[in-house]
């Protein structure tokens, strides 16, 4: 009797299992987020198109095709090359287009963006000024001269008291190319480009990857990222030119090279003293401060290519992309914890400077 009952229980249990719906397979894990990091471009629109196209970020017309990718460009879009404005306009456009596909475009403030806002135009090319020129540029330049005539004449006569008014006018016009006035208006804190730069961060962290143009010193690592970004934006808005500004501080995020070298001729910082700890000690301190896996920087060109250093905790991505430097065009792809440097062939149009 007991054996028959046990058989009935087993048959009932088997029937219940057979009738039960199969358990659904667990949903597949989402693919790791893809990040593309691009170093300094310095006015080379052709090489920017080569890099962005090779990375699958833009289509043949320059529109976003990167899907859910996050692009981080680490600053120094401008100066040295002939077409800073073309790259700026494309990045502005991509920042608006990428979110529609679930992507994101982060453009950091580099020291050359800060220099343009604060009026340091040592590296701005004639072609960059010409890009802003139009049919009214000559008249606009003349109106500016007349408005500042007394100031301009006083400046020239401080060097040459005998200089005549017509000679001063001609000298000033020669030193003020067409498009210069428009460039200065666009780059002012209230101008289209100036406002855009001010809205961009100086430091960003994405999936544990810490991005900054120059670097973060152990001194600055005591400041939260939001505070650093607020200070940079404030300094840009008020056009701070002083030597102690965060925009010019050799220990600050736009200029610091101390994570790459301790050569005082390069860093402009004495390589001695308690504040200058070895890179092997400073790097983990900085990363720990922000709970980051690694720091990725531009600013200091290395024409050998992207460098992955200190076991992947420091990555340098300024490879001299621009024709000015002639380095290998490149980008860094980050998928999860996998770091993949890519070298991009320079197209014939980019090599010839045809934009």
Instruction: CATH number of the domain at 197, please.
Output: 3.60.21.10
Whether residue 303 sits in one domain with residue 280 = yes
Does residue 77 fall inside a structural domain?
Answer: yes
For 193-293, strand residue ranges (E) read 203-206, 209-212
Whether residue 171 sits in one domain with residue 113 = no
| φ and ψ of 239, to 5 deg | 50, 55
Whether residue 174 sits in one domain with residue 203 = no
> Strand 314-316 to strand 294-297: parallel, antiparallel, or no bridges (unpaired)?
parallel
Query: Alpha helix locations (H) across the chain?
Result: 2-19, 45-54, 84-97, 111-117, 126-130, 137-147, 149-159, 165-175, 180-187, 192-199, 225-237, 264-267, 279-290, 348-352
Last residue of a domain, one of 178, 197, 213: 178
Can you read off the two tokens belonging to residue 158?
């401080």
**Residue span of the structural domain in which 328 resides:** 34-128+183-352
Q: Residues 250-278: pLDDT tens digits?
A: 999 999 999 998 888 888 876 654 456 78
Does residue 28 fall inside a structural domain?
Answer: no
Whether residue 316 sits in one domain with residue 255 = yes
Does residue 269 fall inside a structural domain?
Answer: yes
Question: What's the N-to-C CA distance of the chain in angstroms?
Answer: 93
Does residue 313 fall inside a structural domain?
Answer: yes
- Look at residue 96 in the predicted model and tell me its pLDDT: 98
Last residue of a domain, one of 146, 178, 210: 178
Pick from 114, 124, 139: nearest CA to 240 = 114
- 0.85 exceeded by pTM: yes
d(CA 85, CA 126): 12
Whether residue 46 sits in one domain with residue 152 = no
User: Taking a C-beta distance cutoff of 8 angstroms, is the pair 299, 259 a contact?
Assistant: no
CB atoms inside a 10 Å sphere around CB 255 = 23
Does residue 309 fall inside a structural domain?
Answer: yes
Q: Residues 342-351: pLDDT tens digits?
A: 999 998 766 6
What's the total number of domains in the chain?
Answer: 2
Does residue 113 fall inside a structural domain?
Answer: yes
Cα–Cα distances (Å) from 292 to 209, 220, 225, 251, in that order, read 6, 15, 12, 20
Residues forming a β-bridge with 107: 73
295, containing H or E segment: strand 294-297
Whether residue 119 sits in one domain with residue 142 = no
Helix (H, G, I), strand (E, B) or coil at 176: coil
- Look at residue 351 in the predicted model and tell me its pLDDT: 60
Does residue 117 fall inside a structural domain?
Answer: yes
Stretches where the chain sits below pLDDT 70 are 1-32, 270-276, 349-355
d(CA 91, CA 196): 10
Q: Which residues contact 160 (CB under 8 A, 6 or more apart)?
A: none
Whether residue 142 sits in one domain with residue 113 = no
């Amino acid at each position: 009797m007991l054996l028959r009952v046990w058989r009935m229980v087993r048959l009932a249990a088997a029937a219940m299992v057979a009738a039960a719906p199969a358990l659904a397979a667990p949903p597949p894990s989402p693919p790791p987020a893809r990040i593309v990091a691009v170093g300094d471009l310095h006015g080379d629109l052709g090489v920017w198109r080569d890099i962005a196209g090779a990375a699958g970020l833009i289509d043949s017309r320059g529109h976003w095709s990167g899907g859910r990718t996050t692009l981080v460009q680490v600053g120094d879009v401008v100066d040295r090359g002939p077409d800073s404005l073309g790259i700026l306009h494309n990045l502005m456009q991509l920042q608006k287009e990428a979110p529609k596909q679930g992507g994101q475009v982060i453009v950091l403030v580099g020291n050359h963006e800060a220099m343009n806002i604060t009026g340091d135009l040592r590296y701005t090319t004639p072609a960059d000024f010409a890009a802003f020129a139009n049919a009214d540029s000559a008249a606009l330049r003349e109106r500016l001269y007349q408005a500042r005539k007394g100031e301009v004449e006083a400046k020239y006569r401080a060097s040459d008291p005998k200089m005549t008014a017509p000679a001063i006018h001609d000298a000033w016009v020669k030193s003020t190319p067409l498009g210069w006035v428009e460039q200065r208006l666009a780059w002012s804190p209230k101008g289209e480009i100036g406002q855009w730069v001010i809205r961009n961060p100086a430091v960003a962290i994405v999936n544990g990857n810490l991005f900054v143009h120059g670097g973060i010193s152990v001194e600055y690592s005591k400041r939260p990222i939001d505070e650093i970004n607020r200070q940079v934006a404030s300094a840009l808005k008020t056009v701070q030119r002083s030597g102690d500004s965060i925009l010019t501080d050799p220990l600050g995020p736009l200029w610091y090279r101390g994570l790459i070298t301790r050569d005082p001729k390069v860093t402009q910082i004495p390589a001695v003293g308690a504040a200058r700890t070895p890179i092997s000690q400073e790097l983990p301190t900085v990363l720990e401060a922000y709970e980051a896996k690694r720091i990725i920087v531009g600013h200091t060109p290395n024409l050998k290519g992207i460098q992955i250093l200190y076991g992947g905790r420091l990555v340098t991505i300024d490879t001299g992309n621009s024709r000015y430097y002639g380095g290998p065009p490149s980008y860094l792809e980050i998928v999860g914890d996998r770091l993949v440097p890519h070298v991009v062939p320079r197209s014939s149009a980019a090599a010839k400077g045809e934009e």
